[in-house]
Amino acid sequence: MRKLNKLNVYGLVVHCSATKPSMKVNAKIIKRWHTEERGWSDIGYHFVINRDGSLESGRSLQYQGAHVRGYNAQTIGVCLIGGLDENGKPDANYTLAQYETLKKLYGDLRLRFPIQEILGHRDLDKGKDCPCIDVRALFLSSF
Ligand SMILES: [Zn+2]
């Protein structure tokens, strides 16, 4: 894994696990998907926010993540658990607790990195729905 140069980090990129709310998923399970199924050396995200708002660490911030094509050297990746409805369609179904944790994480990271913005995966990769919400608008309206 490549080292993350703190000075280059300008953004926090929000993702979703693309799982139904009823599905039990956490950092450990996502790590298993990324390592055993995709063959990566570690989980791709730096953080995971569970449905109850609990924050889990993923990949060490010492290393670049593997979460957004072309921007891994300049961003930190966080994954919200959820993002699909019970029919498997994209759905902005995150909990208030998740949003509150995300807001706090963004504030904490801005003290440690020269982060200037929070944005969604889809803002950097137009072919994606992830994370099914307009992250920029959400933070501008400061929920
Ligand atoms: Zn994503």
* pLDDT at residue 143, as a whole number: 53
Average pLDDT, rounded, for the chain: 95
CATH topology of domain 6-140: Lysozyme-like (3.40.80)
Residue percentage of the chain with pLDDT more than 70:
99
Question: Which candidate in 31, 34, 45, 94 is catalytic?
Answer: 45
Whether 121 is a known active-site residue: answer: yes
Q: Residue 69: pLDDT above 90?
A: yes
Whose tokens are 């063959």? That residue is 39
Of residues 107, 104, 84, 82, the one with CA closest to residue 94: 82
Q: What's the rounded Cα separation, in Å, for the pair 55 and 47? A: 7
pLDDT tens per residue across span 46-59: 999 999 999 999 99
Check 34, 46, 67, 121 and give the catalytic one. 121
Q: Average pLDDT, stretch 87-109?
A: 96
The CA distance from 138 to 143, in Å, is 7
Residue 142 pLDDT class (50, 70, 90 cuts): low
User: Of residues 15, 34, 46, 67, which has the active-site annotation?
Assistant: 15
Q: Which residues of 17-40 are buried (b: 16+ CB within 10 A; e: fewer)?
A: bbbbbeeebebebbbeebeeeeee
pLDDT band at 140 (very low <50, low <70, confident <90, very high): confident
- 15 counts as catalytic: yes
Ligand 1 center to 11 CA (angstroms):
14
125: phi then psi, degrees, rounded to nearest 5: -140, 100
- Residue ranges per structural domain of the chain: 6-140
* Degrees to nearest 5, angle at CA 118 with 113 and 122: 130
106 given a catalytic annotation: no
What is the C-alpha separation between 106 and 88, in angstroms, rounded? 28
Amino acid residing at 113: F
Is the distance from CB of 46 to CB of 59 less than 8 angstroms?
yes
Q: Is 45 a catalytic residue?
A: yes
**What value does the mean pLDDT take over residues 90-105?**
96
Q: Specify the residue for token string 């708002």.
A: 53
Q: What distance in angstroms lies between residue 132's CA and the mean position of ligand 1's atoms?
A: 9
**C-alpha of residue 46 to centroid of ligand 1, in Å:** 12
Q: Ligand 1 centroid vs 67 CA: distance in angstroms?
A: 6
Q: Quick: pLDDT tens for 107-134.
A: 999 999 999 999 999 999 999 999 999 9
